[in-house]
A = this chain, B = another copy of it.
Amino acid sequence: MDGIPRDIAPRDWTLTEARRALATGRVTALELVQSCLGRIAVRDGDLRAWITLNPQAEEQAARIARDDPRPLAGIPVAIKDMIDTGDLPTTHNSPLYGTHRPAADAPCVEVLRAAGAIILGKTDTTEFAACGRNAATGNPADVTRTPGGSSSGTAAAVADRHVPFGLGTQTGGSTIRPASFCGDVALKPSWGLISTEGVKRYAVSFDTIGLFARSVADLALVADVYALPPSPVLPKRRLRLGLTRTPYAEALEPEGHALLDSMAERLAAVADVVAFDLPEGFAEVDNLHRCVQMCEGASAFLNLARARPTLLHQDFHDRVEMRMGYTQDEHFAAYDRLAVLRMALEARLAGVDALIAPSAPGFAPVGRHPGDPKFNALWTAMQVPVMNVPVPGLALPLGFSLIARRAWDRQLIEIADRVMGAL
């Protein structure tokens, strides 16, 4: 009765279950890694989540002792190929970086490694996590569909049980949308709490590390690893959850509307779901986000346009040449306007424990285009923590977003735990 499921393979365990199995000697880290690699061998020919696998993974796992006290000791993890790794290539899915070997781990990777994680490999991404080339990855639930993007490979690998945990990024909707399409429990933390150094830059004001797992407990454990700050303890009373379809409700598919329609009933055991009015002017956020993203992209890709123009996708030349319809004056005005809207949102969020909103318009579309980030970009622009909560029992994976105040990531994780318990 050690709480480790006995009828499934090690690769099927959550991070927390795997850690318990390792600590109690049920499996060795090498066996866990081999179980994951076995799954990849069977599945990844179709799924194409991985760009590079770590040839040292088994050797590294073999060195993990059963009594290793580190929180992630022996846990195989996936790293989006936008994020530098000192021992594996980092391609950004760009022909400019096909042979690029960073000299060091990005800080967010070094933190995982210091906690004992085994970097199992690098996962596919939309080119520079922005536009240009799509990832080759398919959706584990239906390989003809997209897993979403840009964190396509990590979202698919975690959902398909290649690894219990992985890193993605989010500048618009690159973590929460693929998590919804694939059925992952994912957290886009408050902006700025996890360093994005060593991650190819797109829009520095929005770029955020995304955390993908299959259980809320796993995210709580990783929150410790990344030293996410303490937030007030959640009261034991019933939750009060606001619900918004955002200003873009007309973009929701029928299954997206149906899911939101069902929230009050689904969560009746733990929460009152109440209508939530967004601040005046909130419909501007998508355009403000786009303005900042495009203008910050102009400086982010200048070096490539100047030094290596031929293999750079036209989408990036357009950003550098400021052909996206915004000026740098508008860029700074957008910072200010977003700050005003953040303050207004923060004030309203104080009236609920968290907010429920769509994670995506609906089920994952057929094809490889990663889908519309409209339902995610607005929260990215607000700097708030967002979790994708997958809903069981639907025809295809679909989740909803839970949203809390900035820096209250840990309370949000607690809320998600209660909410998932009710689903």
Interface residues of A in 181-200 (CB under 8 A from B): 190, 192-197, 200
Residues of B within 8 Å of A101, CB to CB, are: 103
**Neighbouring B residues of A103 by C-beta, 8 Å:** 100-103
Whole-angstrom CA separation of A343 from B343 in the bound complex: 14
Q: Are B299 and A193 in contact (CB under 8 A)?
A: yes
Q: Which residues of the partner chain B approach A205 to less than 8 Å between Cβ atoms?
A: 192
- Across the interface, which residues of B come within 8 angstroms of A407, CB to CB? 327-329, 331-332
A192-B205, A195-B201, A322-B229 known; A302+B107 contact, CB < 8 A? yes
Closest residue of chain B to A101 (Cβ to Cβ) is B103
Interface residues on chain A, size class: 35 or more
Q: Does A217 contact B (CB under 8 A)?
A: no
In contact, A195 and B339 (Cβ under 8 angstroms): no
Least distance between A251 CB and chain B CB atoms (Å): 29
Q: CB within 8 Å of B: which of A329-387?
A: 329, 331-332, 335-336, 339-340, 342-343, 346, 383
CB–CB A307/B111 < 8 A: yes
Q: Is A204 an interface residue (CB 8 A)?
A: yes
- By the criterion CB–CB under 8 Å, are A100 and B104 in contact? yes
A322 contacts which chain B residues (CB < 8 A)? 229
Q: Which single member of B100, B303, B327, B342 contacts A114 (CB below 8 Å)?
A: B303
Give CA–CA (A104, B104) in the complex, Å. Answer: 11
Against B, the Cβ 8 Å flags (1 = close, 0 = not) of A145-181 are: 0000000000000000000000000000000000000
CB pair B195 A197 closer than 8 Å: no
Question: Does A300 sit within 8 A of B, measured CB to CB?
Answer: yes
Question: What is the bound-complex CA distance between A194 and B298, given in angstroms?
Answer: 9
Q: Output the nearest chain B residue to A327 by Cβ-Cβ distance.
A: B229
The CA-CA distance from A197 to B338 in the complex, in Å, is 23
Q: Contacts A320-B227, A407-B332 known; A306 to B110 CB distance under 8 Å? A: yes
Interface core residue of A192, A194, A335 (most chain B CB under 10 Å) = A192
Whether B331 and A107, one on each chain, are in contact in the complex, defined by CB atoms closer than 8 angstroms, is no
A296 contacts B by Cβ under 8 Å: yes
Proximity bits, A186-228, B CB within 8 Å = 1, else 0: 0000101111110011001100000000000000000000110
CA distance A322 to B298 in the complex (A): 34
Contacting residues of chain A (36-57) with chain B, CB-CB under 8 angstroms: none
- Judging by beta carbons under 8 Å apart, are A303 and B111 in contact? yes
Residues of B within 8 A of A229 (CB): 322, 327-329
Closest chain-B Cβ to A254's Cβ sits at a distance in Å of: 37
Partner of A192, one of B100, B105, B193, B296: B296
Interface residues in A380-407 (C-beta closer than 8 Å to B): 383, 406-407
Chain A window 71-105, contacts with chain B (Cβ cutoff 8 Å), 1 for yes, 0 for no: 00000000000000000000000000000111111
Which residues in B have their C-beta under 8 angstroms from that of A339? 335-336, 339-340
Q: Which residue of B lies closest to A207 (CB)?
A: B204
* Cross-interface CB contact of A300 among B100, B115, B195, B204, cutoff 8 Å: B195
Decide: A192 and B299 in contact? CB cutoff 8 A.
yes
Please give, as numbers and ranges, the residues of chain B lying within 8 Å of A66 by CB-CB distance: none
CB distance from A288 to the nearest CB of B (A): 13
- Provide a sorted-by-A list of 12 A–B residue pairs whose CB atoms are within 8 angstroms: A101-B103, A107-B303, A111-B302, A190-B332, A192-B205, A192-B331, A227-B320, A327-B407, A328-B407, A329-B407, A332-B406, A336-B342
Q: Nearest 4 A-B pairs (CB), nearest first?
A: A339-B339, A107-B303, A229-B328, A114-B307
